[in-house]
């Protein structure tokens, strides 16, 4: 791996193939995602475009190669949830422990704060000690544990929800700002 600095930028639809190459092994070989089938490049482009209508979708780059990505999505679809999001992060196997994940989450949280998001939630397949430790390192705490709620790779899997507050909950929150208006 190069000593060149990792940069973070907003992902683009044209990144779909590279992002999908990172995501596919998680779908095919792990229970990190409960998705069974690897999406097509077109489906992934559409996911990126849909996310970017409201939320950040970030890519970590080194030497022109995408190392990983992170994005936020709606926690729930109702307007009262505008100040809460779910986060997702995927780093390529050869880029783990390079700092890419940390840089992605730091940048993601910066965007979310500017959008006036307060609650950040992570839904994590359990057991997954690496992901739980990563989230705890960034101030998340476990707030829910669902037993055997998913089935993948021949086994029943639990799910934990972790949350982090990016700031206090004011009596009247500032309006949510879509990422494109920042």
Per the structure block, which two tokens stand in for 129? 């000690």
- In angstroms, the Cα distances linking 66 to 99, 160, 169 are 13, 28, 35
Q: What is the pLDDT of residues 73-116, one digit of tens each?
A: 999 999 999 999 999 999 999 888 889 999 999 999 999 999 99
pLDDT at residue 4 in the model: 85
CA dist 146 and 156 (Å) reads 11
Q: Which CATH class is domain 7-122?
A: alpha beta
Q: Which residues contact 106 (CB under 8 A, 6 or more apart)?
A: none
**Which H or E run includes 62?**
strand 57-62
Name the residue with tokens 């057991």.
Answer: 127
Is residue 120 within 8 Å of 73, Cβ to Cβ? no
Report which of residues 95 and 173 the model is more confident about.
173
Is residue 69 within 8 Å of 25, Cβ to Cβ? no
Q: What is the pLDDT of residues 114-168, one digit of tens each?
A: 999 999 999 999 999 999 999 999 999 999 999 999 999 999 999 999 999 999 9
**Residue ranges covered by each domain of the chain:** 7-122
């Amino acid at each position: 791996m190069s000593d060149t600095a990792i940069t973070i930028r907003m992902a683009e639809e044209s990144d779909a193939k590279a992002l999908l190459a990172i995501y596919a092994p998680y779908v095919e070989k792990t229970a990190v995602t409960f998705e069974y089938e690897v999406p097509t490049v077109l489906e992934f482009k559409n996911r990126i475009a849909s996310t970017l209508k409201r939320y950040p979708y970030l890519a970590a780059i080194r030497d022109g190669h995408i190392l990983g990505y992170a994005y936020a999505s709606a926690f729930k679809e109702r307007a009262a949830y505008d100040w809460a999001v779910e986060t997702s992060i995927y780093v390529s196997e050869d880029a783990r422990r390079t700092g890419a994940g940390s840089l992605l989450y730091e940048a993601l949280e910066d965007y979310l704060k500017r959008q006036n998001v307060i609650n950040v939630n992570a839904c994590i397949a359990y057991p997954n000690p690496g992901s739980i430790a990563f989230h705890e390192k960034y101030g998340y705490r476990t707030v829910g544990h669902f037993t055997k709620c998913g089935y993948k790779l021949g086994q029943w899997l639990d799910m934990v929800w972790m949350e982090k507050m990016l700031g206090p909950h004011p009596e009247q929150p500032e309006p949510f700002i879509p990422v494109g208006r920042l």
